[in-house]
Structure 1
Amino acid sequence: MSCLSWNCRGLGNPQTIRALYDLIKDHKPSFVFLIETISVASKIEELRVLFGFEFCFSVDRGGRGGGLAVLWKGPLQCQISGYSQHHIDVVFLENNVESWRLSCYYGHPERTRRRESWALICKLASISVLPWWIWGDFNDLMNVEDKKGRSQYHQYLFDGFSKTIHDCNLSELPLGGGKFTWERSRGTKAWVREKLDRGFAFASWWKKFPLHDLKIMHTSVSDHEPLVLDLFKVNMSKKAFRFRFENMWLKEPEFTKEVSDIWSTLPPIHLLSKLLEVSSFMARWGRTFFHKFREK
């Protein structure tokens, strides 16, 4: 199952619709979350038909901006369990029984309202004991590494968001395909890049989906990059994973460093993925080392 999230900055531009169509065609998501649609429900219904989805739900914009929408396909079973202008809460069912939960989230863009955003995250975290995942445009940063550029960002904002994530017992999903998801003034001295779009989850969700894979996609029609999540990402074959471990590898400094780096990039609860990543690396290392050893 694949999911797509994108702050598209409005759906009134034909280029945006085309870019969204191409994303859906390429990645075939079963579930799509759109942020800042700046559209009414009738427009979302048109897109549902255009993109071939069976179901949709939208929250109309408030004022001049905003607007949220989710679209999904059968046989995926979803129930909308709550919503506001800053989130849509979805419960996923398996065999008509509640199985896990997703909060599609849009944080307040105004810095003066960040505490409202943090309070909403805490509220959503406390609603249910189901395995939970929250993703979207948080409009927030956790540390200085999430930002590159000259514009100032206050420490209390870093601290407030980081404390919220910690207090809610959330772990961040590793993000591939790049470091930043939003940019402004590219090619100028005022160029700013930030990691605003991301995902977090409870330990119970990680346990349910240990092979998930979250990546940044690229498009030129919005200042935000789309995110695509594969819940079951497995790229392996029996042939690719047949290898014999050689003690001689342990004498190579690069080998132990690479294994250590791979192991430490994922949380302890992500054990199956850690083992698969290390095994995949060892298989590649073995093939390369064999050729180098034969040449020597």
Structure 2
Amino acid sequence: MYKPKVVVLAEPFLRDELLDDVKRVLGFDYGLSNGAWDGKLWIFWMNDVDVSMVSCGTQQITVLVSNGSMKCKASFVYAKCTYVQRRELWADLEKESNGTEPWLITGDFNIIVSDEERQGGRPRPLVAMEEFNFWIHSCGLLELKYLGKRFSWCNGHVGRDRSWARLDRSLVVQNFVQAFPDSFMRYLPRTSSDHALMVISLEKNVAKYGPSPFQFQQIWVDHVDFPRCVREVWDQPEARSGLLKLAVKLKKLKVALKGWNKTIFGWTSGHIKELEDWIKRLESHLQLNYDEEVELDLLA
């Protein structure tokens, strides 16, 4: 069903010397790994795709990928288990955020954005989630739209000990969305692994029906016009009451935010001055105490 041009394996549990053997078994022409560090990431690709190394570390490999007119930078991630170790990953990837290429960051981040991205199990450390969100904001990243189940990982236990979380995701910068407007990621059903496989398509999804699902973008809250957009919708009179009133307001807000996002983050030439002002405000905001951030919970 899927014929990927590039495949990435995280934690193959094999010696790096066996990379060529695995490459041949899978039917790929080329391969590389971060074997000089710990060999937890292996990349394979076909001969009609050009892949060149940009940077490498214990938790990520960043490459330039080109296939005909399609060109982008991709960072493949396999994050460590503790937030102290992940600080090295955030620092490494932040260095890549200054480039001009369409940039995709995907893989196992081993942390969630908020407790809403888990079910069961112990809460993740608040500082770990804060640092993850801070890195997402500082790099100006957006969620790549995705299909499939909401949780990408399960611990495989039964009963009350069973837990799920969205540890695997794909993030992109704004010019990636512009370069590949039909791109999306799909979670495949889990089989032998505790993580779901992820398939990323940069082409139009011909099997897609209906409108795209609403996805709240964390970058919105940093825009100066965001509170006004929310307030205008929320202050509209509504005759209904209770949970029905809340549901109606949230539905109206979803529609308003979609239109607002298209207007504000369309990044046409007429928005250049606004973009420059927004960057200055964002840089100023990042200097503030992160504990003062305001969170807005929306029901899908």
TM-score under structure 1 normalisation?
Answer: 0.68
> What's the counterpart of residue 60 of structure 1?
35
Please give the alpha-carbon distance, in whole angstroms, between the structure 2 residues aligned to 1:77 and 1:120.
23
> What's the counterpart of residue 77 of structure 1?
50
Look up the equivalent residue of 1:43 and give its one-letter code.
L
Q: What is the SS of the residue equivalent to 1:151?
A: coil
- The 8 Å contact of residues 38 and 60 in structure 1, kept in 2 or not, is answered as no
Please give the alpha-carbon distance, in whole angstroms, between the structure 1 residues aligned to 2:172 and 2:64.
14
Please give the alpha-carbon distance, in whole angstroms, between the structure 2 residues aligned to 1:262 and 1:51.
47
Structure 1 residue 231: deviation in Å? Answer: 0.7
> 5+ unaligned residues in a row in structure 1: which ranges?
1-25, 242-253, 272-296
What does the per-residue CA deviation read over 1:62-81, in whole Å, with 9 as the maximum and x for residues that have no partner?
Answer: 67xx6110001121121122
> What's the counterpart of residue 87 of structure 1?
60
> What's the counterpart of residue 200 of structure 1?
171
Structure 1 residue 141: deviation in Å? Answer: 0.9
Please give the alpha-carbon distance, in whole angstroms, between the structure 2 residues aligned to 1:210 and 1:270.
12
- The 8 Å contact of residues 170 and 203 in structure 1, kept in 2 or not, is answered as yes
- The 8 Å contact of residues 183 and 191 in structure 1, kept in 2 or not, is answered as yes
Structure (1 or 2) with the greater strand fraction: 1
Please give the alpha-carbon distance, in whole angstroms, between the structure 2 residues aligned to 1:38 and 1:102.
23
Please give the alpha-carbon distance, in whole angstroms, between the structure 1 residues aligned to 2:62 and 2:260.
27
- The 8 Å contact of residues 40 and 78 in structure 2, kept in 1 or not, is answered as no
> What's the counterpart of residue 32 of structure 1?
7
Look up the equivalent residue of 2:161 and give its one-letter code.
A
Structure 1 residue 226: deviation in Å? Answer: 0.6
Q: Are 2:129 and 1:154 equivalent residues in the alignment?
A: no
| Count, aligned residues | 226
> What's the counterpart of residue 177 of structure 1?
148
Q: 1:192 to 1:198 in 2, by over 3 A?
A: same
Q: 1:48 to 1:199 in 2, by over 3 A?
A: same
Q: Are 2:97 and 1:122 equivalent residues in the alignment?
A: no
Q: 1:74 to 1:265 in 2, by over 3 A?
A: farther
Look up the equivalent residue of 2:106 and give its one-letter code.
W
- The 8 Å contact of residues 39 and 60 in structure 1, kept in 2 or not, is answered as no
Look up the equivalent residue of 1:113 and give its one-letter code.
Q
Please give the alpha-carbon distance, in whole angstroms, between the structure 1 residues aligned to 2:198 and 2:260.
19
Please give the alpha-carbon distance, in whole angstroms, between the structure 2 residues aligned to 1:44 and 1:203.
34
Please give the alpha-carbon distance, in whole angstroms, between the structure 1 residues aligned to 2:109 and 2:260.
22
> What's the counterpart of residue 109 of structure 2?
138
- Matches for 1:1-296 after TM superposition, within 5 Å: 26-60=1-35, 67-93=40-66, 99-126=71-98, 128-235=99-206, 264=258, 268=262
- The 8 Å contact of residues 206 and 270 in structure 1, kept in 2 or not, is answered as no
Please give the alpha-carbon distance, in whole angstroms, between the structure 2 residues aligned to 1:87 and 1:114.
11
Please give the alpha-carbon distance, in whole angstroms, between the structure 1 residues aligned to 2:183 and 2:9.
21
> What's the counterpart of residue 218 of structure 2?
none
Q: 1:50 to 1:185 in 2, by over 3 A?
A: closer
> 5+ unaligned residues in a row in structure 2: which ranges?
211-247, 268-300
Please give the alpha-carbon distance, in whole angstroms, between the structure 2 residues aligned to 1:27 and 1:210.
20
What does the per-residue CA deviation read over 1:199-242, in whole Å, with 9 as the maximum and x for residues that have no partner?
Answer: 111111110000012110113211111100111133279xx99x
Please give the alpha-carbon distance, in whole angstroms, between the structure 2 residues aligned to 1:160 and 1:185.
27
Tell me: higher relative CO, structure 1 or 2? Use CA pairs within 8 A at least 6 residues apart.
1
Q: 1:262 to 1:56 in 2, by over 3 A?
A: farther
Structure 1 residue 47: deviation in Å? Answer: 1.6
Please give the alpha-carbon distance, in whole angstroms, between the structure 1 residues aligned to 2:122 and 2:259.
29
Q: 1:190 to 1:264 in 2, by over 3 A?
A: farther
Q: 1:151 to 1:81 in 2, by over 3 A?
A: same
